Chains A and B, each alone.
Chain A
Amino acid sequence: MKIIKIFLIIFLTQGISQLKSDEKTNKLKSKILKNIRCLICQGQSVYDSESDFASSIKLVVDKKIDEGISEKQIYEFLRHKYGDWIIYNPKLQQKTYILWLLPLLLFSLGGAIIYKNLIIKKK
C-alpha cells in the first residue's frame, strides 16, 4: 500500500511539473510570436495571423524552442533571414537612434517648458 502511495505522489508531482513547464513554454511562444510581424499581412503579428507565412514561422519558432534555443537567438535568426522589420521591438542601433531618443528629448523639452512656466514664474 505504501509503495502505491509513493508511486502516486511521484506520478502526480511529475505531472504537475510537466504541466507547469508546458505552460511556461506556451507563454514564451506566445510572447515571441506576438513580437514577430507577419510580413505578408497588413498590421498583424504572426500570433494573430493564419496565413501560410505565419503558420510556417509558428512551426519554426516551436522547433527552435524545443531545441532549447533562447528567445534572443530566435529573434536573431529571424532578423538574419528577414531583416529588422520582422521584429516589432526595434534594436537600439545607429539607424534607430532617432526613434529611441526623440521621445526622450521631447519629454525633456516638455518638462523644461513646464518647469519654466510653472515654477520659475511662481518665484
Chain B
Amino acid sequence: MKKKFNLFIIITSLSFCFVIFYKGLNNSNTYAPKIIDKKNIPIFEAKDFNSNTYLNSAKIFEEDTFYIVNIWASWCVPCKKEHPLLMELNKNQSVKLIGLNYRDKLNNAKKFINEFGNPYSQILIDNNGTLGIEFGAYGIPETFLIDKNKMIIKKFVGPINEKIVEEIKLIIK
C-alpha cells in the first residue's frame, strides 16, 4: 500500500513538472506588452521637429478627434516599410498622425521625410527615448491609437500592415 502511494506521489510530481515545462516551452520568449485596459495619454513636454519650440501634450492632443502616435526614425528599416501605409492613413479625415522621431539625427530625419513624404500633422523629437518610455514603448516602430477621450486604446508593436490599417479604419469610422 505504502509503495503504491509513493509511486503515485512520484508519478503525480513528475507529471506536474512535465506539464509546467511543456507549457513553458510552448510559450513565446519574446515579450510584447498587451493593452488590456485603456490608458490615459501621458503628460509631457516635447520639442517640435519643425519649429524647435516646446509643446505640451494638452496642446498636441487638443482636437476632438482620433490620434495616431507613430514612433519612427530614419535609421529604422521597418519604418520605411510601413511609411506608405501611414501616408494612406493620413488621407483619412477622422484621424491625426503624430510622429515621434526616436533617437535620430535631425538632418537624417528631414531627409527621410523629404524623400518618403510627411504623413504627420506634427512631429515631436525624442532624442533620448524617454518620451517613448512615457508611452510604454520599447522599440521602434510602434504605433498607438488614441481615442477622442484621450485614451490609448490600441498599441501595435512593429511595423503596421494592411490588416492593422483596416482595423484602425474600422475603429475611427
Contact = CB atoms under 8 A, between A and B. Distances in A.
A31 to B, nearest CB: 19
Interface string A51-64: 01101110110010
Contact of B31 (A39, A52, A59, A81): A39
Interface string A66-77: 000000000000
A25 B103 CA distance: 27
Interface residues of A, number: 16
A56 B139 CA distance: 11
Contact of A55 (B129, B135, B136, B138): B129
Size band of the interface chain B makes with A = 10 to 19
Given A82-B136, A82-B138, A52 B103 contact: yes
A81 B133 contact: yes
Contacts, number: 39
A1 B88 CA distance: 78
B34 A56 contact: no
Contact of B133 (A42, A60, A85): A60
Contacts of B133: 56-57, 60, 81
Nearest to B35: A83
Contacts of B136: 81-82
Given A40-B139, A82-B33, A83-B33, A53 B130 contact: no
A59 B129 contact: yes
The A interface, classified by DSSP as helix, strand, loop or mixed, is helix
Prevailing SS type, chain B contact patch? loop
Contact of A53 (B29, B135, B139): B139
Nearest to B132: A56
A95 interface: no
Interface string B124-149: 00001110111110110000000000
A71 to B, nearest CB: 17
A80 interface: yes
A60 B31 CA distance: 21
Nearest to A43: B29
Given A39-B31, A60-B130, A83-B34, 14 more contacts: A39-B33, A40-B138, A52-B139, A53-B129, A55-B129, A56-B128, A59-B128, A59-B129, A60-B133, A81-B134, A82-B33, A83-B33, A85-B31, A85-B33
Shortest beta-carbon contacts, A-B, top 4: A56-B129, A81-B136, A39-B138, A60-B133
